[in-house]
Amino acid sequence: MEKKVALKDVAQHIGVSAALVSYVLNGKEKEARVGAEMAKRIKKAAAELNYQPNLIAKSLKMGKTKTIGLIVADISNPFFSTIARIIEDEAKKHGYVVIFGSSDESADKQLDLIDVFSTRLVDAFIIAPAAGTEEQIQNIINRGVPVVLMDRFFPNLKVDCVHINNLNASGKAVKQLIKNGRKKIGMLAYDTTQSHMQDRKQGYKAALKEKNIRFKKEWLIEASYQHLEKDVADKIKPLLKPLQIDALFFATNSLAVAGLKEINKLGIKVPDDLAIISFDESDAFDFFYSPVTYVSQSLADIGKEAIKLVINRLHSKSKKNTNVIVEAKLIVRESCGSL
């Protein structure tokens, strides 16, 4: 177990000051006007001694950790892990590393994570915020730490965010169902105040209205994030047995996976008995006997834009906050009854 070699070790090794070594190893030889000969010697010595800088010390000195704190609902959810991967790659390009945490859509857990990450001086946060946490976000901002919200946001919070236009996307999906002749369209959503969910429900209702279909409140069923399976099973049955609707729109892929299992159990045929559209992708959608139509949001874009916003914040102290809307498109396949 060889002992760590520090900056001063390489300095001593060739009898110069630590300052010089620091300059050279940080590519500041020009500004510091270090001799070319010297620079070469220093680099050589650093390599020979296998010097590895101590980023913790550097962070303490600089007040910057080159670390981004990522908070999502659940990193094991492919929606978030896919975004996480993009964020990891994009962050790396800028020399940042990411530490992550899962809030389980709980405001308390999210607060814990924010505290833990703050304590470790992350340079910025990227958060898919849990419901009712605008104050937490505002506090981060007040501390002067950049935050970017993704997937969900808070309308009256001045903060950078990136998301799709859920109202439109949802409307587009519902209108597709209507275009395919469906008139009794149900929706399975999450029971939360978060913007993305509100907008999706809103888009659903607006589309019905636009097409002169009167919304029935039994059509909209809601599950809690914490008891997904049970809630879906309990609430979907009254709607399907007997069949009160001719189409069902799922607000997320997790809802769709749970819902389709129930639909299978009940022996309902898609799309003949029931047309289906979901939000987001899933391997399951490709293998369902009637390939599932879905609203595709580019997770790559979300991740990239999130980092772009973070980096901008970090590099310029502009006050204005930006709101990036990424594209969403409807991938039409058999399940919605078009074919």
Q: Would you say 4 or 217 has its CB closer to DNA?
A: 4
Contact 286, 280 (CB under 8 A): no
C-alpha 287: how far from chain center:
25
Binding mask 55-94 for DNA (x = CB under 7 A): --xx-xxxx-------------------------------
* The residue to which tokens 């913007």 are assigned: 195
A 10 A CB-CB count for 3 gives 6
| DSSP letter assigned to residue 217 | G
Complex with DNA: residue 52 or 224, whichever CB lies closer: 52
Among 53, 132, 181, 238, binds DNA (CB under 7 A): 53
Nearer of residues 4 and 320 to DNA, judged by Cβ: 4
Q: Is the Cβ–Cβ distance between 95 and 125 less than 8 Å?
A: no
Q: Write out the H or E segment, with its range, that includes residue 274.
A: none
> How far apart, in whole angstroms, are the C-alpha atoms of residue 153 and residue 45?
51
Residue 19 in contact with DNA, rule: CB under 7 A? yes
Instruction: Kindly state the smallest distance separating residue 36's Cβ from DNA, in Å.
Output: 8
From DNA, a copy of itself, none, interface partner of 35 (C-beta below 5 to 8 A by class)? DNA
Shortest separation between residue 27's beta carbon and DNA, angstroms: 10
Q: Which residues make Cβ contacts (< 8 Å) with residue 339, sequence separation at least 6?
A: 333
CA distance 271 to 208: 19
Question: What's the closest the beta carbon of residue 5 comes to DNA, in angstroms?
Answer: 8
From the list a copy of itself, DNA, none, pick the one residue 101 interacts with, judged by a Cβ distance below 5 to 8 Å according to partner type. a copy of itself
Burial 73-89 (b: 16+ CB within 10 A, else e): bbeebbbbebbbebbbe
Within 248-307, the residues that bind DNA by CB under 7 A are: none
Q: Which of 28, 179, 209, 237 binds DNA (CB under 7 A)?
A: 28
Binding region for DNA (CB under 7 A)? 4, 6-8, 15-20, 22-23, 25-26, 28, 32-35, 37-38, 53-54, 57-58, 60-63
